[in-house]
Amino acid sequence: ENVLTQSPGTLSLSPGERVTLSCRASQSVSSTYLAWYQAKVGQAPRLLMYGISSRATGIPDRFSGSGSGTDFTLTINRLEPEDFAVYYCQQYGSPPLTFGGGTKVELK
Amino acid sequence: EVQMVESGGDLVQPGESLRLSCAASGFTFSNYVMNWVRRAPGKGLEWVSYIDTSSETIYYADSVKGRFSISRDNAKNSLYLQMNNLRDEDTAVYYCARDWGRSQPRWFFDLWGRGTLVTVSS
């Protein structure tokens, strides 16, 4: 299976900062089959990005995705208070679909 | 409101069984393929199982194959996960997740529930 490794495990940041989250795959991800999710304790996870760089419905444009092959990035410009959460990447190009271990973005 | 609500999570002993339910509302449930995804404590998300709109095509992760069974009742807008012979490593929050692609799976998920906690411990 295609193992996804996210780094760093935790980021301590302040509102207004720019953050870059990394997702590295053990095998090349087929086509553009990579998604990102945001998860908060006690809430339903939320789809942020799919197809590497397409924003899901209602996702603000401060979120952007990029990358190809085995290296992918989720960027959040100007962190808002509601952005402090755990972020997961997911590949769906080869079965079984797999998720990364997550990066926690916490308030500094 | 478009939402899904899971229920049925509990504390059980190894070897016991549990049935999870997911009640969908605010959208045409029968038009969507569905999945279960779980998150074990301190770990990332893990896909568990898939079912298509007519229950004809079903897939399982290797870790649960032979022990878990997914089903759905479109008349009741509900998704289920029957979990048998539970193990310590099945301890997790279990989420139902709707596929973005409606009746044709795209394998990423645009609607999730809040999850239900399953704890397997003696």
Q: What's the pLDDT tens digit per position in A22-52?
A: 999 999 998 899 999 999 988 999 999 999 9
Placement of tokens 């995705």 in the chain: A65
Predicted local confidence at residue A95, as pLDDT: 86
User: What average pLDDT score do residues B2-13 get?
Assistant: 97
Looking at the predicted structure, is the pLDDT value of residue B63 above 90? yes
Nearest to B60 by CA among A19, A77, A96, A26: A96
Q: Do B114 and A50 touch (CB under 8 A)?
A: no
Q: Do A98 and B47 touch (CB under 8 A)?
A: yes
Whole-number average pLDDT of chain A: 95
Placement of tokens 């070897």 in the chain: B15
Confidence band of A94 (pLDDT split at 50, 70, 90): confident
Predicted local confidence at residue B111, as pLDDT: 97
Looking at the predicted structure, is the pLDDT value of residue B103 above 90? no
Looking at the predicted structure, is the pLDDT value of residue B119 above 90? yes
Q: Do A56 and B44 touch (CB under 8 A)?
A: no
Min distance A101 CA to chain B CA atoms (Å): 4
Predicted local confidence at residue B16, as pLDDT: 98
Q: What is d(CA A100, CA B110) in angstroms, rounded to the nearest whole number?
A: 17
Confidence band of B75 (pLDDT split at 50, 70, 90): very high
User: What average pLDDT score do residues B83-103 get?
Assistant: 96
Q: Which candidate in A34, A89, A92 is best for mutational testing of the B interface (most B CBs within 10 A)?
A: A92
Which chain B residues have a beta carbon less than 8 Å from that of A98? Answer: 47
Q: What is d(CA B97, CA A12) in angstroms, rounded to the nearest whole number?
A: 29
Looking at the predicted structure, is the pLDDT value of residue B102 above 90? no
Q: What is d(CA B4, CA A107) in angstroms, rounded to the nearest whole number?
A: 29
Predicted local confidence at residue A3, as pLDDT: 95
